[in-house]
């Protein structure tokens, strides 16, 4: 009787048996979770959200066809602003959908040094434009860029271009410095695309 009990206990506490029992227990709980309506709903929401996010990012980047002049950081900022502006105007008509353009500056560092200015100085000129009201930038994306600016109207953006000209154009300053940078305007479309146009003679 003692030997029988010994072998029973030996089998019961066998590492292999314990692993098998734990595996069966894991399968039991796993299938229990899958069969639970609450967990099914949670898993469905989880995979739907991240699946949509992944597909949207890839589709958005392909569909937007970023200009080759845009840096990787500019592309990231434009994609973020695209989502923000699309959500802001998702119920608007197509005619008024494009009223939040972006002003983008791809800086030329050799043009900043002789003027003794920084990107922040140029950005402050833009933010100081008359009637300029910054669109709320989500806190989770940290600090806004000094290269990408969202406007509530094209008219205000044109005023910002005027201010940049008056502050940094060589004709106004009387100098022959290299340009501060290249200037682009981006207008979004409801289909998830955008149109980018370069503005010339702002700095030179």
- Structural domain boundaries in the chain: 2-34, 67-199
Angle between helices 119-127 and 154-168 (to 10 degrees): 130
Which one is predicted more confidently, 170 or 33? Answer: 170
Over the stretch 144-164, which tens digit does the pLDDT of each residue have? 789 999 998 999 999 999 999
Angle between helices 37-64 and 15-35 (to 10 degrees): 80
For residue 8, the model assigns a pLDDT of 45
Mean pLDDT computed over every residue of the chain? 78
Residues 6+ apart with CB under 8 A from 160: 103, 125, 126, 129, 132, 149, 151
For residue 33, the model assigns a pLDDT of 59
- In whole angstroms, give the CA distance from residue 142 to residue 168: 29
User: Phi and psi (nearest 5°) for 184?
Assistant: -130, 150
Residues 6+ apart with CB under 8 A from 122: 105, 107, 112, 146, 164, 168, 180, 181
For residue 6, the model assigns a pLDDT of 43
HEC string of the chain equals CHHHHHHHHHHHCCHHHHHHHHHHHHHHHHHHHHHCHHHHHHHHHHHHHHHHHHHHHHHHHHHHCCCCCCCHHHHHHHHHHHHHHHHHCCCCCHHHHCCCCEEEEEECHHHHCCCCCCHHHHHHHHHCCCCCCCCCCCHHHCCCCCCEEECCCHHHHHHHHHHHHHHHCHHHHCCCCCCCEEEEEEEECCCCCEEEEEECCCCC
Band (111; pLDDT cuts 50, 70, 90): very high
Which one is predicted more confidently, 149 or 8? Answer: 149
Out of 75-79, 125-129, 163-167, which region has the weakest mean confidence (pLDDT)? 75-79
- In whole angstroms, give the CA distance from residue 202 to residue 105: 11
Over the stretch 68-109, which tens digit does the pLDDT of each residue have? 889 888 998 888 888 888 877 777 666 556 678 999 999 999
Band (179; pLDDT cuts 50, 70, 90): very high
Band (5; pLDDT cuts 50, 70, 90): very low
Over the stretch 21-71, which tens digit does the pLDDT of each residue have? 666 666 666 666 555 666 556 666 665 655 555 555 554 444 557 878 898
Decide: 129 and 103 in contact? Cβ < 8 Å: no
Which one is predicted more confidently, 140 or 117? Answer: 117
pLDDT tops 50 at residue 10: no
């Amino acid at each position: 009787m003692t030997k029988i009990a010994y072998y029973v206990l030996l089998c019961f506490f066998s590492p292999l048996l314990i692993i098998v029992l734990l595996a069966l227990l894991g399968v039991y709980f796993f299938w229990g979770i899958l069969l639970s309506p609450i967990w099914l709903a949670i898993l469905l929401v989880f995979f739907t959200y991240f699946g949509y996010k992944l597909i949207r990012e890839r589709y958005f980047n392909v569909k937007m066809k970023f200009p080759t002049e845009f840096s990787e950081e500019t592309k990231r900022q434009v994609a973020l602003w695209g989502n923000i502006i699309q959500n802001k105007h998702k119920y608007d008509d197509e005619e008024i959908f494009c009223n939040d353009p972006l002003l983008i500056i791809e800086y030329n560092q050799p043009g900043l040094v002789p003027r003794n200015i920084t990107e922040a100085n140029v950005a402050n000129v833009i933010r100081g434009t008359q009637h300029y009201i910054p669109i709320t930038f989500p806190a989770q994306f940290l600090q806004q860029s000094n290269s990408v600016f969202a406007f509530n109207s094209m008219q205000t953006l044109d005023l910002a271009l005027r201010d940049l000209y008056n502050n940094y154009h060589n004709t106004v300053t009387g100098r022959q410095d290299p340009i501060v940078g290249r200037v682009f305007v981006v207008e979004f479309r409801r289909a998830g695309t955008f149109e980018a146009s370069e503005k010339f003679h702002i700095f030179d």
